């Protein structure tokens, strides 16, 4: 019997790191709306916020912890007692609470931000996990700026966190500095050299400053990471985080290569993307992978011809697999005869080959002047030429136009 593929846990930090996008702050009620959707989506962990940062964030974490029952709820805390205590007070009614403790580990941060020695930070990391464990056995420790940290020291601080009782240790590419081969090698090194890692989960949190967050996350899971932190639409600090939809669909589409799976209900990805975009008021760029307006749109005549004949020629996943109703053939100057004919068919008209020969030059002339040719434009071309087109829906041209308006 074929063995079940290993699962990658999806830790969603839209409500915490995602909210750190400039102008993306959310009310507690808005956070709760998104948390409900993330539960439907099937994420494993929702990082609901940073309770010590404000009364509003404390309230949001508490609301989510009290209502959401099917997902682990995490709250982040600096490696200091007041943060940890505040996080627990917000989380304590959760079905499965997780305290997420973090501290910087790179010499750059130690010298210029914390102004502490490596030994001091290692001791603080250990003590913070011990304190968090007095509240819950579900404790995650993150080394901030891990990818610019001395490799042996990173090994030591993660080992210390595990010895203190952490069940998950997270390697944060906080400033998006890593590249995939390097990051994959770092994860492989840690999997081999961190004492106790075989009894814990190694997690990664990648930022997109060099556009490599998804690639780095995938390199990490290839080398043993079993939790990926990400956000809906890739929102987050500066250039954002690894996008949930990209990581999930890469693992799903290339399951043959990765041999891994997630518990995400992919058909809910698009509706989740739209909800987050609307609430945080950050539009999704049209060419965004998986959920952008152009992700399943085709304008090139060659591509449109292939899609009409067999979708797999130019689509490696179906739009329906992520909750988008259908692909879209965009009519423009690159469109070919097959796409124009197909759109006319959708509109209810079946021009003959000769009639199509007369339509296409007019279409191309218009497309050279406009970025996109609309269905109304096509109707205008039909009227202009007074073509006698058989209407398969038994509507004449004028009636069709009235219906459109």
Burial of 69 (0-12, 13-18, 19+ CB in 10 A): exposed
Residue 139 near residue 149 (C-beta atoms within 8 A): no
Residue 365 near residue 380 (C-beta atoms within 8 A): no
Under DSSP, is residue 263 helix (H, G, I), strand (E, B) or coil? coil
Q: Which of 56, 55, 38 is nearest to 47 (CA)?
A: 38
Predicted local confidence at residue 1, as pLDDT:
35
Q: Which of 111, 138, 109, 113 is nearest to 44 (CA)?
A: 138
Distances (CA, A) of 4 to 260, 262, 322: 9, 12, 23
Predicted local confidence at residue 304, as pLDDT:
63
Positions in the chain short of pLDDT 50: 1-3, 386-405
Predicted local confidence at residue 347, as pLDDT:
65
Instruction: Mention every residue, 6+ apart, whose C-beta is less than 8 A from residue 311.
Output: 318, 327
From CA 330, how far away is CA 299, in angstroms rounded?
Answer: 5
Beta-sheet pairing, 168-173 with 201-206? parallel
According to DSSP, residue 2 is labeled: P
Q: Which of 25, 40, 11 is nearest to 236 (CA)?
A: 25
Report all structural domains of the chain as residue ranges with CATH numbers, in order of start: 6-280 (3.20.20.70), 298-404 (no CATH)
Predicted local confidence at residue 299, as pLDDT:
58
From CA 344, how far away is CA 351, in angstroms rounded?
Answer: 8
Under DSSP, is residue 104 helix (H, G, I), strand (E, B) or coil? strand
CA dihedral 77, 82, 88, 89 (to 10 degrees): -130
Tens digits of residue pLDDT in 183-202: 999 999 999 999 999 999 99
Predicted local confidence at residue 337, as pLDDT:
77
Predicted local confidence at residue 353, as pLDDT:
83
Tens digits of residue pLDDT in 87-145: 999 999 999 999 999 999 999 999 999 999 999 999 999 999 999 999 999 999 999 99
According to DSSP, residue 19 is labeled: G
Predicted local confidence at residue 308, as pLDDT:
63
What are the backbone dihedrals phi and psi of residue 300, each rounded to the nearest 5 degrees, phi first? -55, 135
**What pTM, to 2 d.p., does this model score?**
0.84
Predicted local confidence at residue 388, as pLDDT:
42
Predicted local confidence at residue 398, as pLDDT:
45
From CA 14, how far away is CA 230, in angstroms rounded?
Answer: 7
Burial of 357 (0-12, 13-18, 19+ CB in 10 A): exposed
Number of other CB atoms surrounding residue 26 within 10 Å: 22
């Amino acid at each position: 019997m074929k063995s079940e593929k290993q699962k990658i846990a999806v830790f969603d930090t839209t409500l915490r790191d995602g909210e750190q996008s400039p102008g993306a702050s959310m009310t507690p009620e808005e956070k709760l709306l998104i948390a409900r959707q993330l539960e439907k989506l099937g994420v494993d962990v929702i990082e609901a916020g940073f309770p010590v940062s404000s009364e509003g964030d404390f309230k949001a974490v508490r609301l989510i912890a009290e209502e959401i029952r099917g997902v682990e709820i995490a709250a982040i805390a600096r490696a200091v007692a007041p943060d940890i205590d505040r996080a627990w007070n917000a989380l304590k009614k959760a079905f499965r609470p997780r305290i997420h403790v973090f501290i910087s580990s790179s010499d750059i941060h130690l010298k210029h931000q914390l102004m502490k020695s490596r030994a001091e930070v290692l001791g603080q990391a250990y003590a913070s996990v011990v304190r968090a464990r007095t509240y819950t056995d579900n404790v995650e420790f993150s080394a901030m700026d891990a990818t610019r940290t001395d490799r042996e020291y990173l090994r030591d601080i993660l080992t210390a966190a595990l010895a203190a009782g952490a069940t998950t240790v997270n390697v944060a590419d906080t400033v998006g500095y890593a590249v995939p081969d390097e990051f994959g090698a770092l994860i492989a090194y840690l999997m081999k050299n961190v004492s106790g890692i075989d009894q814990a989960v190694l997690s990664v949190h990648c930022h997109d400053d060099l556009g490599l967050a998804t690639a780095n996350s995938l390199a990490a899971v290839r080398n043993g990471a079993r939790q990926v932190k990400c956000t809906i639409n890739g929102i987050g600090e500066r250039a954002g985080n690894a996008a949930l939809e990209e990581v999930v669909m890469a693992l799903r589409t290339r399951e043959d290569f990765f041999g891994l799976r997630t518990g995400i209900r992919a058909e809910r990805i698009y509706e989740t993307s739209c909800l987050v975009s609307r609430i945080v008021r950050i539009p999704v760029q049209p060419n965004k992978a998986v959920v952008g307006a152009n992700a399943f749109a085709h304008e090139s005549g060659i591509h449109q011809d292939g899609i009409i004949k067999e979708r797999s020629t130019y689509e490696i996943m179906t739009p329906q697999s992520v909750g988008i109703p259908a692909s879209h053939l965009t009519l423009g100057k690159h469109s070919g005869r097959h796409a124009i004919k197909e759109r006319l068919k959708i509109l209810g008209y079946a021009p003959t080959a000769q009639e199509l020969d007369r339509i296409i030059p007019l279409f191309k002339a218009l497309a050279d002047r406009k970025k996109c040719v609309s269905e109304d434009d096509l109707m205008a071309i039909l009227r202009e030429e007074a073509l006698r087109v058989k209407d398969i829906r038994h509507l004449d041209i004028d009636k069709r136009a009235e219906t459109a308006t």
